[in-house]
Amino acid sequence: MGGDTTSLLIKNIDVLGTFDDEAREIADGAILVRGNVIEKVGTTAELAGETGGADRVVDWSGHVVMPGMINTHHHMYQNMTRCMVQDDVLFTWLTTLYPIWAQMDDAAVKVSAKIAMAELIMSGCTTASDHLYILPNDCTLDSTIEAAREIGMRFHASRGAMSRGKSQGGLPPDNCVEDEEAILKDSERLIHQYHDMSRHSMNRIILAPCSPFSVTDGLMKEAAQLARQHDGVRLHTHIAETLDEETYCTEIYGMRAIEFCESVDWMGDDVWFAHAIFLNDREIKLFADTGTGATYCPSAHMRCGSGIMRAREMLDAGVTVGFGVDGSASNDTGNLFLEARLGISLQRVAPTRYLSEKPGGRGGFAGSPQALSAREALTMATRHGAKLLGRDDIGQIAPGMSADFIAVKRDHLGLSGSQRDPLAALIWCGPFQVDHSFINGVQVVQDRQFTAFDLDKALADHQATMERLYSV
């Protein structure tokens, strides 16, 4: 707790969704925080004895409270290129944007990270993982970590990389790739400088070569070996996102994308993949058996026409599936409430049975309204996200957990009429901005405003940076 023993009692919470081991939803709830850790959770009556001893007492009557959500896949730099390449498949989308991203510098990386984090925090996220895989010019992962510290976000920085350019049979242009030895050397530096495995830590490092079509199998193997030499360094990449990728893996490696991952030792409980749309039954079982996880990015999947992740079947098989907003140019927003809502809806329209043609009608495929529930989606956005990142100290409101939680006031126009289930309404009736957000015991949002972060300045810096880059 860093020596901080200041206590905070939050009481009179209308509905407190704890997402703890008992999945308690507490009416007239209360939370006692000491320093950056949750000390007690219960009803206001049960914690009434703490009122006199707490350093600060806050009344959250009329609020719904839940753990801060966890974003497990993002490309924050892409908010420099929103709403571009709107109607093309992923490979065309990438090859069009690579040359633009190649113009980025470190200042652009930092300010884009600030904007992305602000957007996430306002939509209920308190922990994020960002996959920065293109580092041209003077770009560094360090700047995203500095941005997280400035805004107060719990942050897992993924050291992404591309090493196989077009001349070597890869997708990205040669000026967007790095030398593999330099990638591994920088990865080692970042781990030693920033990776903090202590409980409640604010920064950890992930190794994340970009994809099978932008790195070599050698880099995949060496990244896995390097990560496993250090405590808690996890592995992350894109996999099975499009049929074009499956074709590429078959032609270049002579195997499916997941088989390729097996061949380079990228399966296990320290690995999670973004997308994982095109998995067959054997591969879903392999994920479950090895503890390999996956991130569901429904907005990006729909925006690029990629397909529908078999999330329901993966969950039923025991695979840990979390949510990610994906890149700000393939979404094109960064709102986790919205991602959860679309995630539910997309699973419900996923074809489960064929309706044969009948007289006077048409044939077609039908989905199921039971495919994914609001509480399952919220669990994916909290506890599952924590597990994907290897955390046992976030994702729930319970004693001993990090003090990361959000509150939404029930007087939002869109929440009117939701008295019977205010918690589910956060997804179904939204998306919403949060009224309050605590991260690591610090209030970063109060009454829908940042308490210490200058959002207006960040927006102005972002605009100026875009104008500078696009004038080149």
Question: For 402, which DSSP code?
Answer: B
275 forms beta bridges with 239
Mean pLDDT of the chain: 93
Question: Domain tally for the chain?
Answer: 2
Mean pLDDT for 7-21 is 98
Residue 244 in any domain: the answer is yes
Judge if 252 and 273 occupy the same domain. Answer: yes
Judge if 420 and 288 occupy the same domain. Answer: no
CATH of residue 341's domain is 3.20.20.140
Q: At which of 369, 388, 407 does a domain end?
A: 388
Q: Model confidence at 85, in pLDDT bands (50, 70, 90)?
A: confident
Which of residues 136 and 196 earns the better pLDDT score?
Answer: 196
Helices vs strands, H then E, count in the chain = 15, 21
Judge if 177 and 235 occupy the same domain. Answer: yes
Residue 460 in any domain: the answer is no
Judge if 157 and 74 occupy the same domain. Answer: yes
Give the structural domain span for 432: 7-68+394-450
Judge if 97 and 212 occupy the same domain. Answer: yes
CATH of residue 441's domain is 2.30.40.10
Judge if 117 and 128 occupy the same domain. Answer: yes
Q: Is 318 left (phi over 0), alpha (psi -120 to 50) or beta?
A: left
The C-alpha angle with vertex 386 and arms to 40 and 33, in degrees rounded to 5, equals 20
Asked if 432 contacts 423 with a C-beta cutoff of 8 angstroms, the reply is: no
Judge if 403 and 267 occupy the same domain. Answer: no
Residue 459 in any domain: the answer is no
Judge if 231 and 172 occupy the same domain. Answer: yes
Summarised one tens digit per residue, pLDDT across range 148-168 is: 999 999 999 999 999 998 898
Residue 287 in any domain: the answer is yes
Q: Is the pLDDT of residue 270 over 80?
A: yes
From residue 427, give the alpha-carbon distance in Å to each of 46, 64, 221, 469: 29, 12, 40, 37
Summarised one tens digit per residue, pLDDT across range 47-78 is: 988 777 899 999 999 999 999 999 999 999 98
Question: For 380, which DSSP code?
Answer: I
What single letter denotes the amino acid at residue 358? K
Q: Which of 441, 327, 332, 423 is nearest to 381 (CA)?
A: 423
Residue 64 in any domain: the answer is yes
Judge if 191 and 56 occupy the same domain. Answer: no
Judge if 297 and 327 occupy the same domain. Answer: yes
Identify the pLDDT of residue 158: 97
Residue 400 in any domain: the answer is yes
Which of residues 101 and 224 earns the better pLDDT score?
Answer: 224
Q: Is the pLDDT of residue 1 over 50?
A: no
What number of other Cβ atoms are within 10 A of residue 3's Cβ? 5
Residue partners of 398: CB distance under 8 A and separation at least 6: 18, 20, 21, 38, 41
* pLDDT above 70 coverage of the chain, percent: 97
Residue 248 in any domain: the answer is yes
Q: Model confidence at 363, in pLDDT bands (50, 70, 90)?
A: low
Judge if 373 and 436 occupy the same domain. Answer: no
125 forms beta bridges with 69
Q: At which of 341, 357, 388 does a domain end?
A: 388
Residue 467 in any domain: the answer is no
Least confident window among 9-18, 26-35, 347-356: 347-356
Judge if 224 and 347 occupy the same domain. Answer: yes
Q: Is the pLDDT of residue 411 over 80?
A: yes
